[in-house]
Amino acid sequence: MLIKGLIIGFSIAAPVGPIGILCIRRTLEHGKRMGFVSGLGAATADALYGFIAGLGLTIVTNFLIGQQDWLHWIGGLFLCYLGINIIASKSSQTAAKAKDGNLLTAYASTFLLTITNPVTILAFLAIFSGLGMATNHTTSQGLLLVIGVFVGSALWWLLLSNIAGIFAKRISDGSLRVINYISGFILLGFGVYALFF
């Protein structure tokens, strides 16, 4: 169950969406630790949703699915806020290296973004049901599955932040500003899409 959870966690985290873009940008600007801690926020939310889906907590699942419109709005507004902040920022690598960014804020922001995406719990429900893991296990096996999901997701973020960290040393301040604009507009686009589509 641990290995299955690890594979599921890695595969759900791997598609590069708004969280991936945010983690890459934070790694380029603040370093690998900031990128990885940002990813851990998403991994924690993945594990929480994996826990809900894996242990068959249908009351919680139904409640979250019922609130998906509100969750989309919260997540969409937060994405728009992050996108606008990134576009407006005038940071450079020297400034970024001079300040430690707030790791707790980085963690909390990606946790919030992931937890307000109801598609995540639907993905876990579909995968667990499809593989016959939604109910056919003991509580201890379910917990091993959740631990595996967290570790698998965390491994993806560790890999992504390390790859982005390799390129961070080769990026000039001008290139970093361009990356800020591009990533900001992409996050803003994801936010607008979540709000209106």
Whole-angstrom Cα distance, residue 60 to residue 49?
Answer: 10
> How large is the average pLDDT for residues 130-159?
81
Whole-angstrom Cα distance, residue 6 to residue 50?
Answer: 11
More confident residue, 52 or 41: 41
pLDDT of residue 41: 96
Sequence-distant (≥ 6) Cβ neighbours of residue 51 within 8 angstroms: 57, 142, 146
- The pLDDT tens digits for 15-38 are 778 899 999 999 998 899 999 999
- Cβ count near 153 (within 10 Å): 29
What percentage of the chain reaches a pLDDT higher than 90? 29
What percentage of the chain reaches a pLDDT higher than 70? 82
CA torsion, ordered 43, 191, 187, 31, to nearest 10 deg? -40
Q: List the Cα angle 14/46/134 in 5-degree steps.
A: 105
Amino acid at 152: G
pLDDT of residue 57: 58
pLDDT of residue 98: 38
**Residues 137 and 65 sit within 8 Å (Cβ to Cβ):** no
- The pLDDT tens digits for 80-95 are 988 898 888 765 444 4
- The pLDDT tens digits for 55-111 are 665 666 667 667 777 877 888 888 898 889 888 876 544 444 434 468 999 999 999
Torsions phi, psi of 91, nearest 5?
-85, 160
